[in-house]
Amino acid sequence: MATDQITIYHNPRCSKSRQTLSILEDAGITPRIIEYLENPPTAAELQVLGNQLGLEPSEFIRSKEAAYAALDPSGSERSESQLLDAMAAEPILIERPIVVRGDTAVLGRPPENVHQLL
């Protein structure tokens, strides 16, 4: 795993994302940076990320965002597939940052979680 490229799904306006990126750079790693708000992953790519994280979409969606409440004001239950579609359509809903190395991913919340991939 030591030679696997590290990718970070990054939001430069997010302090946790910046801190996670800094940890990688301080470790001498130049990750591939995907600014996911500009280049959002597809629902299928998000499913793969969820599998790598070991999380269901409901576990890495930002449910406190206004965009989440706007999905269905009645608050009805959404399927995991619907959540993936929502995150792909409104990438602000994706919990950040997600850091991937090989077949494993971690959420940079807290940023120190990235040490699991180093």
What is the predicted pLDDT for the residue at 78? 81
Instruction: Show the domain range for 34.
Output: 6-117
Neighbours of 10 (CB within 10 A): 23
What is the predicted pLDDT for the residue at 1? 43
Q: In this structure, is residue 65 part of a structural domain?
A: yes
14 is catalytic: yes
What is the predicted pLDDT for the residue at 50? 97
Q: In this structure, is residue 41 part of a structural domain?
A: yes
Q: In this structure, is residue 67 part of a structural domain?
A: yes
Residue 71: CATH number of its domain: 3.40.30.10
Q: In this structure, is residue 19 part of a structural domain?
A: yes
Catalytic residue from among 14, 43, 48, 67: 14
**Distance set, CA 93 to CA 39, 41, 57, 87, 90 (Å):** 14, 12, 10, 5, 6
Q: In this structure, is residue 87 part of a structural domain?
A: yes
Which parts of the chain sit beneath pLDDT 50?
1
CA atoms within 13 A on the CB side of 29: 23
What is the predicted pLDDT for the residue at 3? 56
The count of structural domains within the chain is: 1
Please say whether the beta carbons of 34 and 8 come within 8 A.
yes
